[in-house]
């Protein structure tokens, strides 16, 4: 028999695929990004002004700290104006029913500009702390490298499409973070004692403040970026508060203490300044 061609379109699909669900920035998030941009610009101006009457040889903390808030200003400008962002899509999970695959894709807005910011500013923050504690170049360099690996791991985790990619990079980032704490907080606590009681007290408080604050970042990342349990706006708000504490508040604390406590001075050598 001759095969017949009826032109039938075939069986009609019974499951209509659900379109991707988008999680993206809203009005609150947008406004928050602009407010933090303004605060970072103001802090940069203030820190630059604070170095006005300070001789160059004693300006190292001022320079580093001002660069930190300038970098944050640039990154917040990019994010607030809608740059440095992309969507990361992965199969959605239903957290209530605990079914692994609910059949649609979830696309969440990721501000990768943050990671560019952190890759520059967190090494500079560590440099501030390392100089204060009198940590040698070897340990400072190891801490900075571990820190850059931590931030890049976070960037790769945020762009991952599978749980292995996302949580694998996240775990690598957490291990790197332990190296940072080891090299700066634990090692620094030993070296700082040579600088006297005043600097030891200051370093202990600043390092504790820093590492308590820094530990909040991977926790927020896990809840917001990893598990998608908060809205994009809530994530922006939490990072905004943390960033203001970790950069302008940290900077104010360090620069005012530096002014009041001569022992915080770093022996910067002839390359930095001749006077």
174 binds ligand RET (CB under 6 A): yes
Locate 2 and state its tokens.
């001759």
Instruction: Number of residues interacting with ligand RET: please give it, by CB under 6 A.
Output: 19
Q: Does position 217 bind ligand RET by CB under 6 A?
A: yes
Q: Rounded distance, CA 166 to CA 160, Å?
A: 5
Q: Which of 121, 140, 257, 264 binds ligand RET (CB under 6 A)?
A: 121
> Is residue 76 a contact residue for ligand RET (CB under 6 A)?
no
- Cα distance between residue 119 and residue 68, in whole Å: 11
* CB 147 within 8 Å of CB 117: no
Q: Applying CB under 6 A, does 170 fall inside the site for ligand RET?
A: yes
Residue 203 within binding range of ligand RET, rule CB under 6 A: no
Q: How far is the CB of 18 from ligand RET (least distance, A)?
A: 30
154 binds ligand RET (CB under 6 A): yes
The H or E element that residue 29 is part of is: helix 27-50
DSSP string covering 143-173: HHHHHHHHHHHHHHHHH-SSHHHHHHHHHHH
Task: Assess contact for 112 and 151: CB atoms under 8 A.
Answer: no
Least distance from ligand RET to the Cβ atom of residue 12, Å:
46
Q: Residue 113 or residue 154: which is nearer to ligand RET going by CB?
A: 154
| Residues contributing to the site for ligand RET (CB under 6 A) | 118, 121-122, 150-151, 153-154, 157, 170, 173-174, 177, 214, 217-218, 221, 243, 246-247
């Amino acid at each position: 028999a001759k095969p017949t061609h009826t032109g039938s379109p075939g069986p009609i699909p019974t499951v209509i695929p659900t379109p991707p669900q988008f999680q993206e920035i809203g009005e609150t998030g947008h406004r928050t990004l602009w407010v933090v941009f303004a605060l970072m610009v103001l802090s940069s101006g203030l820190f630059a002004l604070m170095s006005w009457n300070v001789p160059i040889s004693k300006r190292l903390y001022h320079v580093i700290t001002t660069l930190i808030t300038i970098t944050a200003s640039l990154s917040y400008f990019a994010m607030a104006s809608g740059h440095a962002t992309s969507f990361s899509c992965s199969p959605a999970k239903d957290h209530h029913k605990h079914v692994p695959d609910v059949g649609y894709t979830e696309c969440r807005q990721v501000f990768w500009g943050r990671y560019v910011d952190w890759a520059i500013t967190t090494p500079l923050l560590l440099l501030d702390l390392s100089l204060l504690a009198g940590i040698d170049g070897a340990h400072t360099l190891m801490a900075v490298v571990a820190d850059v690996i931590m931030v890049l791991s976070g960037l790769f985790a945020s762009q991952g499409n599978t749980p292995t990619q996302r949580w694998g990079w996240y775990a690598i980032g957490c291990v790197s973070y332990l190296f940072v704490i080891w090299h700066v907080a634990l090692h620094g606590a030993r070296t700082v004692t040579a600088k006297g009681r005043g600097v030891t007290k200051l370093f202990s408080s600043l390092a504790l403040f820093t590492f308590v604050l820094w530990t909040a970042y991977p926790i927020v990342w896990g809840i917001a970026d990893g598990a998608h349990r908060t809205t994009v706006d809530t994530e922006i708000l939490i990072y905004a508060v943390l960033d203001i504490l970790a950069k302008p508040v940290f900077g104010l604390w360090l620069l005012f203490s530096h002014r009041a406590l001569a022992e915080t001075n770093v022996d910067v050598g002839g390359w930095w300044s001749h006077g």
